[in-house]
Amino acid sequence: MTVLPSVLVFAGKMEKELHYSVMIAGMVLWFVTAVLWVKPDQHQP
């Protein structure tokens, strides 16, 4: 979600505006999943 859009813009197959939207969506998705993945275990004393 971050490498392919950049390659498509370089190749002229994707508009820059769409590229920005896809990159922002990938960033938000990464931050949401990273926070959920690193969330501390609730069952430890």
Q: What is the pLDDT of residue 35?
A: 84
The DSSP letter of residue 15 is -
Do 19 and 6 contact (CB within 8 A), yes or no? Answer: yes
Q: Residue 30 and residue 21: Cα distance in Å, rounded?
A: 14
Q: What is the pLDDT of residue 25?
A: 93
Q: What is the pLDDT of residue 43?
A: 60
Q: Residue 16 and residue 2: Cα distance in Å, rounded?
A: 13
Q: What is the pLDDT of residue 36?
A: 84
Q: What is the pLDDT of residue 37?
A: 84
Q: Residue 27 and residue 38: Cα distance in Å, rounded?
A: 16
The single residue listed with the structure tokens 């939207």 is: 21
Q: What is the pLDDT of residue 15?
A: 94
In the three-class reduction of DSSP (H, G, I as helix; E, B as strand; rest coil), residue 18 is classed as helix
The string of pLDDT tens digits covering residues 1-45 is: 778 999 999 999 999 999 999 999 999 999 999 888 887 666 655
